[in-house]
Amino acid sequence: MITSNDFKTGLTIQHEGNIYQIIEFQHVKPGKGSAFVRSKLRNLRTGTILDKTWRAGEKVETAMIDKQPMQYIYADGDNFVFMNTQSYEQIEIPSNQIEYEKNFLKEGMDVNVISFENEILGVDLPEKVTLEVTETVPGVKGNTVTNATKDAVVETGYKLQVPLFINEGDKIVINTATGKYSTKA
pLDDT in the model for residue 181: 94
> Could you say which DSSP state residue 104 is in?
S
According to the CATH classification, is domain 2-62 in 1.20.120.1690? no
Q: pLDDT tens, 103-117? A: 999 999 999 999 999
Q: From CA 109, how far away is CA 83, in angstroms rounded?
A: 11
What residues form DSSP beta bridges with 2? 60
Amino acid at 19: I
For residue 46, what pLDDT band results from cuts at 50, 70 and 90? Answer: confident
According to the CATH classification, is domain 66-124 in 3.40.1000.10? no
Rounded to an integer, the average pLDDT of 30-53 is 91
Class of domain 128-184: mainly beta
Q: Give span(s): CATH 2.40.50.140, the chain.
A: 66-124, 128-184
Q: Is the pTM of this model over 0.95?
A: no
Mean of per-residue pLDDT scores for the chain = 91
Q: Give span(s): CATH 2.30.30.30, the chain.
A: 2-62
Percent of the chain past pLDDT 90, that is, above it, reads: 72
For residue 175, what pLDDT band results from cuts at 50, 70 and 90? Answer: very high
Q: pLDDT tens, 105-162? A: 999 999 999 999 988 988 989 999 999 999 998 866 665 566 788 999 999 999 999 9
Element at 130 (helix H, strand E): strand 128-136
